[in-house]
Amino acid sequence: MTAALPPLLLVGCGRMGHALLGAWLERGLEALVVVDPAPRVPPGAAKAAILADPAGIPAAFSPAAVVFAVKPQQASMVLPHYARFVRSSVFLSIMAGRTLKGIGATLGPGAAIVRAMPNTPAAIRAGTTVACAGAGVDSARKQLCETLLAAVGKVAWVEDEALLDAVTAVSGSGPAYVFLLAELLERAGIEQGLPADLARLLARRTISGAGALLEAGSEDAGALRMAVTSPGGTTERALSVLMEARAWPAAVSRAIAAATERSRELAG
């Protein structure tokens, strides 16, 4: 049986905080405090102390981890309230763009910080998170953060924090690109005469099924693409349009580069 999680303090309970909290509640918790003036509380959170303001945190409460799931633009106002936990807790941040150095400067000297970038499939426990541990994070605290993040999907680690900008562009923002493809497939199907409900079914099931096929094996994505592409067939004709010089190959590269640069800008 999986051991219960230690006491946790979750700061911010929006979409991603809600996903993490739901997964942690399934695991069992020794104690939990959530600070958010308007939290998205999942079922089973009755045991948690839900607070609108950090002033209400009990003086005796000592979390093993403080998880920041607030919007990055709120960091300078929110984080100083939790500096009192520097000696006892590891800080796990899922704030996009906020660097280890910047978070440490706000919390004060000695803060043990892990920065992570999850993505929205965490809501169905199918997320992918990439994390980077700052100086002062020992193996036990790193393992705790991995356990917390693994509750909603796969976890990978990088030593170079700068790589998180590209991670944000590929996987953090990536679900939006897939949802756009679903929109476009549905619209194109309707344009070709399909009933709207059938076009939506085909678009969604094609994307989810192809993703499941990709996940199920180790075969390269290019090889899977070629296996569907019969010479002289319909797929080859469609790909001849999508793979034109200024079409998908170039557009996706430009899009990821733009998102990576914006992540760097947000880090300031």
CATH of the domain at 59: 3.40.50.720
Cα radius of gyration (the chain): 21
Whole-number Å distance between alpha carbons of 14 and 172: 16
Which of helix, strand or coil describes residue 219? coil
Q: What is the pTM of this model?
A: 0.92
Whole-number Å distance between alpha carbons of 114 and 93: 6
* Separation of CA 267 from chain center: 17
Same domain assignment for residues 182 and 158: no
- Domains held by the chain: number: 2
Amino acid at the residue 200: R
Tokens of 142: 């790193």
Q: pLDDT, tens digit, for every residue of 55-91? A: 999 999 999 999 999 998 888 899 999 999 999 999 9
Same domain assignment for residues 196 and 148: no
Tokens of 102: 């910047």
Same domain assignment for residues 140 and 219: no
Tell me what pLDDT residue 149 has: 98
Answer whether residue 258 is part of any domain.
Answer: yes
Whole-number Å distance between alpha carbons of 101 and 112: 11
Answer whether residue 132 is part of any domain.
Answer: yes
Answer whether residue 3 is part of any domain.
Answer: no
Per-residue pLDDT for 43 more than 80? no
Same domain assignment for residues 141 and 189: no
Per-residue pLDDT averaged across 18-38, rounded? 91
Same domain assignment for residues 233 and 145: no
Whole-number Å distance between alpha carbons of 64 and 8: 6
Whole-number Å distance between alpha carbons of 227 and 184: 23
Q: pLDDT, tens digit, for every residue of 150-205? A: 999 999 999 999 999 999 999 999 999 999 999 999 999 999 999 999 999 999 99
Answer whether residue 1 is part of any domain.
Answer: no
Same domain assignment for residues 221 and 94: no
Same domain assignment for residues 118 and 63: yes
Q: pLDDT, tens digit, for every residue of 98-136? A: 999 999 999 999 999 999 999 999 999 999 999 999 998
Answer whether residue 190 is part of any domain.
Answer: yes
User: Which of the pair, 240 or 2, is modelled with greater confidence?
Assistant: 240
User: Which among 164, 185, 200 is the end of a domain?
Assistant: 164
Give the pLDDT band of residue 47 (cuts 50, 70, 90). Answer: confident
Same domain assignment for residues 117 and 221: no
Answer whether residue 192 is part of any domain.
Answer: yes
Per-residue pLDDT averaged across 231-249, rounded? 96
Answer whether residue 94 is part of any domain.
Answer: yes
Same domain assignment for residues 195 and 158: no
User: Which among 117, 141, 164 is the end of a domain?
Assistant: 164
Same domain assignment for residues 246 and 184: yes
Range of the domain at 246: 174-267
Q: How many Å is the maximal CA-CA distance in the chain?
A: 71
Same domain assignment for residues 117 and 180: no
CATH number at residue 246: 1.10.3730.10
What CA–CA distances, in Å, run from 44 to 41, 62, 86? 9, 22, 29
What CA–CA distances, in Å, run from 188 to 135, 200, 246? 50, 10, 20
**H or E stretch covering 255:** helix 248-267
User: Which among 143, 164, 185 is the end of a domain?
Assistant: 164
Per-residue pLDDT for 2 more than 70? no
Answer whether residue 104 is part of any domain.
Answer: yes
Per-residue pLDDT averaged across 204-213, rounded? 97
Same domain assignment for residues 17 and 97: yes
224 CB neighbour count, 10 Å cutoff: 14
167 phi and psi angles, rounded to 5 deg = -60, -45
Tell me what pLDDT residue 267 has: 78
